[in-house]
Amino acid sequence: MGNLRSIPCSFDPAIVALIDGRMDDIASHHHVTIAWAIESGSRAWGFPSPDSDYDCRFVFVRRQDDYLSPWINRDVIETPLDGELDVNGWELGKTIKLLLKGNAVAIEWLMSPIIYNGDPWIRDKLLDLARSFTDRNAVARHYLHLGEGQRRTYFADNKEVKLKKLFYALRPAATLRWMRMYPGSALAPMHFPRLMAQCEPPNDVASITAELIQKKAQTREMGAAALPDAILTFVDTEFATARELFGRSNQTPSSHAKAAAEALFRSAIQRYAVAS
């Protein structure tokens, strides 16, 4: 099994060591192989605050005999929140089924630029599966619902807004714009600065966003301010366009998609699942 690791030098080495230890403990206690472990959340999105949590997410494979029992284990492993540390994971079969349904979170785990430990084989195979069969409309509708919810919650009055909350509507809006500009793909960049560069927003939106990212990196409290007209227009325009462009999703994978998913699952079990 290959080993891929990509961690920014800005990460606290003590926290990284805790994450590595947590991964080892999970693998030992639950008798699983962790095939892919990444950072999610604001650090992987590229707009962390000085006090941002570390959100580790992982994909795991159980022992061979566990897949042969009529008493199926849970398809998630959850660990208690511990200060800055949040560590949870999904079983491989769950991850595959969610990918086929167009689950944007599963896609983001595979697209994360921050990797604690992972086999590039499983990432590449899952991304290939997603490129071939993921329901693109479902991915878009996820970001639309997420973005509209944040829009209503944090700046419905169009007047003043907590500046750090802007990111949670800006990122979905930029993703929807990216998907409109790249109609052949459902796999938008997870890293927000890269996403913004590729979706080519208006100059004033790009400038305001860059300033917000820089400010958020320097202080945990960004304060509140009047809602920038350029941001409001950008967000509302992209959401309105997405409502028209991305229709209802098909939640039932085709027989071809299921066959490809099963073949990948069997290969991964042979690669990772150890004998009991």
Which pairs with CB-CB distance under 8 Å and at least 24 residues apart come from 174-178? 174/199, 174/201, 174/238, 175/143, 175/199, 176/140, 176/143, 176/144, 176/147, 176/238, 176/239, 176/241, 176/242, 176/246, 177/201, 177/238
Query: What's the confidence (pLDDT) of residue 276?
Result: 62
pTM score: 0.93
Token readout for 94 is 């769950």
Query: What's the confidence (pLDDT) of residue 1?
Result: 64
Query: DSSP secondary structure string, 149-213?
Result: HHHHHHHTTSSEEEGGGGHHHHHHHHHHHHHHH-TT-S---SSHHHHHHHH---HHHHHHHHHHH
Per-residue pLDDT of the chain (276 residues; tens, 9 = 90+): 669 999 999 999 999 999 999 999 999 999 999 999 999 999 999 999 888 899 999 999 999 999 988 988 899 999 998 888 999 999 999 999 999 999 999 999 999 999 999 999 999 999 999 999 999 999 999 999 999 999 999 888 877 888 888 899 999 999 999 999 999 899 999 999 999 999 999 999 999 999 999 988 887 766 778 889 999 999 999 999 999 999 877 768 899 999 999 999 999 999 999 876
pLDDT in tens, 57-95: 999 999 999 998 898 889 999 999 888 899 999 999 999
Q: Measuring CA to CA, which residue among 186, 211, 210, 200 is closest to residue 234?
A: 200
Helix (H, G, I), strand (E, B) or coil at 116: strand
CB–CB of 166/212 below 8 Å? yes
Query: What's the confidence (pLDDT) of residue 241?
Result: 97
Residue type, 244: E
> What is the CA angle 78-81-84, rounded to 5?
130
Query: What's the confidence (pLDDT) of residue 155?
Result: 85
Query: What's the confidence (pLDDT) of residue 170?
Result: 95
Query: What's the confidence (pLDDT) of residue 2?
Result: 66
Q: Please state, in angstroms and rounded to a whole number, the distance separating the CA atoms of residues 88 and 76.
A: 8
Q: Please state, in angstroms and rounded to a whole number, the distance separating the CA atoms of residues 250 and 87.
A: 31
Query: What's the confidence (pLDDT) of residue 84?
Result: 86
**For residues 234-249, b (16+ Cβ closer than 10 Å) or e, as one string?**
bbbebbeebeeebeeb
